[in-house]
Amino acid sequence: MAEAALIEVEGVDGSWWTLSGAGQGTEGVELGTTPVGLYDAPVTTIWNSSAFQIGASYGGANWLKRDVVFGVNIFETDSATWEAVDSAWRKAWAYDRDTKLTVTTEYGSRSLHLRLAQQPDFKSAKDPHLKRWGQVTMTCTAGLPWWVEEDVTASAVSTTDTTGAGASETMWLPVSNPTDQPLWLKWVVTAPGTWTLPDFSWADDENEDRVITLPVLAAGQDATVDTDPMEEMIVAADRSSLWARMNGVLFLHPVPAWTPETLVPVTVRGATPGAAVQVRCPRNWSRPWGLQ
């Protein structure tokens, strides 16, 4: 039997609203018809042409912020008047903080982080206090256009003392990317020790086995590594400047879209048994469902 997707909103104030699916309208708000901007992420493609070229050559894609417009029907409940529900719904939204819109299907949950792009619009032929019902149009923007799923993580713990000269231990962790977007891995490693992380190109080229060795970590310098070039690459727990000790070496390669689960090596030296590493695989999708 067909079953509607569960669509929920978590407000900036911590409130929770079920707009569609099981429990729809429990809090007095339900999704209206014909929402705009919820499907594929907005993009413009770049095309270049030289003098006398026939046609043009593809030059890349520019992913844009996502603009979303949708209506909600607001009505009174057994425990709250129409005005109280309408007021509470408005307090769930802000211009400078994110409200989370989550869509859940049989394949999982994905969330879009939205802020008001302009004031909510309300039009009513009669006083809504009399009808105890009204429709509000929400115009929102998602600075990050992706539907985001919870990170998938894997961890490993060393069992060997690698503090001796030339000693090391290699652990293998699974990574995968079932999404339609490139995936930039995140790593968390403990200190003390020296860690070598993969930066594979995932292609048959000179970088297919590329790895990067982090600076030597002293006690208290547990490190977080984010390979996304738009984020701070390496941060130490004691806030020391690990990035300055990277000597300009950068992570270059994301995990391509639709990469099946693959074991990748992580090597540690100069650590006692119990040194640990965690890999986090973000899940960013163009759509609220599908594309697996």
List % helix, strand, coil for the chain (3-state, nearest 5): 5, 45, 50
- Residue 33: which residues within 8 A CB-CB, separation 6 or more? 71
- pLDDT beneath 50, residues of the chain: none
Q: What is the model's pLDDT at position 269?
A: 96
Q: What is the model's pLDDT at position 126?
A: 82
Q: Is 246 helix (H, G, I), strand (E, B) or coil?
A: helix
Whether residue 137 sits in one domain with residue 166? no
Q: What is the model's pLDDT at position 3?
A: 80
Give pTM, 2 decimals.
0.90
Which pLDDT tens digit goes with each residue over 45-57?
999 999 999 999 9
Domain limit, last residue, from 125, 145, 165: 145
Report residue 119: phi and psi, to 5°.
-65, 145
Residue 1, domain member (yes or no): no
Q: What is the model's pLDDT at position 277?
A: 98
Report residue 131: phi and psi, to 5°.
-80, -20
Q: Which of 173, 84, 169 is nearest to 132 (CA)?
A: 84
- Full domain range(s) for residue 205: 149-285
CATH number, domain containing residue 118: 2.40.30.200
Residue 81, domain member (yes or no): yes
Whether residue 26 sits in one domain with residue 92? yes
Residue by residue, DSSP assigns 88-134 as HHHHT--SSSPEEEEEEETTEEEEEEEEESS--EE--SS-HHHHTEE
Q: Which of 164, 174, 110 is nearest to 142 (CA)?
A: 110
Secondary structure of 207-239 as H, E, C letters: CCCCEEECCCECCCCCEEEECCCCCCCEEECCC
Whether residue 173 sits in one domain with residue 137? no
Q: What is the model's pLDDT at position 127?
A: 87
pLDDT > 70: percent of the chain: 100
